[in-house]
């Protein structure tokens, strides 16, 4: 079963879903993992508090980029308030294999950025652009 998830992770890394930028976004955030240099930016297009579209960009290891790609697929159609409440367990379930403590920050970077964008929009923070 681990081979399936490894192949799934590699597929998301080599063929990331929703990679790129939105011409117009309603919420966005970016962050990096200073320990390894992974970078991720998330942009959300909203329709009445629901994620209509999402894009991510950045660079990094297979785990960080695949995890971000998987998250973008998961959040389309979700209420922004529910995105803000996503847990670490949701990411780990997507990844499907055990993540070592040293790779956990890589796997969680996309979640941290996504939640930052959602929480910022819900709180009315100014856009970072």
Digit-coded pLDDT (tens) for 14-39: 999 999 999 999 999 999 988 889 99
pLDDT at 95: 74
Q: Where are the domains of the chain?
A: 2-122
For residue 100, pLDDT over 80 is answered with: no
In this prediction, what percent of the chain has a pLDDT beyond 70? 91
Who contacts 49 (Cβ-Cβ below 8 Å, separation ≥6)?
79, 80, 81
For residue 6, pLDDT over 90 is answered with: no
If one compares 84 and 3, the residue with the highest pLDDT of the two is 84
Who contacts 95 (Cβ-Cβ below 8 Å, separation ≥6)?
5, 9, 63, 66, 67, 70, 107
Domain 2-122, CATH among 3.90.1010.10, 2.60.40.1180, 3.20.190.10, 1.10.357.10: 3.90.1010.10
Distance CA 96, CA 41 (A): 23
């Amino acid at each position: 079963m681990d081979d399936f998830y490894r192949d799934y992770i590699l597929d998301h890394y080599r063929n990331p879903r929703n990679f790129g930028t939105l011409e117009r976004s309603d919420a966005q955030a970016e962050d990096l993992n200073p320990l390894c240099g992974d970078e991720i930016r998330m942009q959300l297009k909203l329709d009445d508090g629901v994620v209509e579209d999402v894009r991510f960009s950045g660079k990094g290891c297979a785990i960080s980029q695949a995890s971000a790609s998987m998250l973008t697929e998961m959040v389309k159609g979700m209420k922004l308030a529910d995105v803000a409440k996503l847990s670490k367990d949701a990411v780990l379930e997507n990844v499907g294999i055990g993540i070592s403590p040293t790779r956990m920050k890589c796997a969680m970077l996309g979640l941290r950025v996504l939640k930052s964008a959602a929480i910022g929009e819900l709180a009315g923070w100014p856009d970072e652009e």
